[in-house]
Copies of this chain bind each other. A is one copy, B any other.
Amino acid sequence: MSAIPAATVGRLVTYLRVLTEMEQEGVRSASSDDLGAVAHVSAFQVRKDLAYFGRFGTRGAGYTVATLRRELRRILGLTRPWHVAIVGMGRLGQALADYPSFDRQEFRLVAAFDVDPAVIGRRIGAVQVESLATLAEVAAERAIDLAFLTVPAGAAQNAVDALAAAGVRGILNFAPVVVTAPENVRLEAVDLSAGLQRLTYYVQSEPATVGEVTG
């Protein structure tokens, strides 16, 4: 049996999101059809994705929202708190320090780093900015699991190397460059610049329309 397709992992995140909304609205149960409709995915796909991990539904009845949500959180590794650091406290890094997820349990902002003496020492959100030179030390001390990489493009690869050496397991890269990480460090790109450029590709040719009727 082969590995789980990356696309499946991405959809699991979407299902979890949908289930969380449903739970908030008081919905008790949902069929694969219901989930698929909201997630913009076929019901087949929903069932196949879930089947990689086990059986979570009841034939004839569908899925219990609370149960499936709990299972997905477990599958995605969201049942224990993750220690997160931000590397690069420019505008974006500072904005991310207030990211709402840090209010909840799963993700805890435990450190923030920069190289600029003008920023080091300042308190931003829940943490005080420290020198990037202290990364290894601090990472060991506070058991940093994950990092947001929000440094300029030219500094990204060095920062990845430093994070990998410090034992950080996953990096969310916001810098618009191709960086390389060792096998044991997972890298995910959250790429504004790339997103913008994909957007222009798709938008360039299609005709513009305002409202429903044109002409």
Contacts and interface: CB of A to CB of B under 8 A. Distances in A.
Q: How many copies does the complex hold?
A: 2
A62 interface: no
A196 B91 contact: no
B101 A95 contact: no
A40 B178 contact: yes
B96 A94 contact: no
A203 B40 contact: no
A126 interface: no
Nearest to A99: B192
A188 B192 CA distance: 10
Interface in A140-171: 140, 145-146, 165-167, 169-171
The interface size bin for chain A is 35 or more
A203 B170 contact: yes
B77 A12 contact: no
Given A12-B201, A169-B203, A189-B195, 14 more contacts: A9-B198, A9-B202, A13-B198, A76-B198, A95-B95, A96-B192, A101-B193, A107-B196, A140-B210, A169-B208, A170-B202, A172-B196, A186-B206, A190-B191
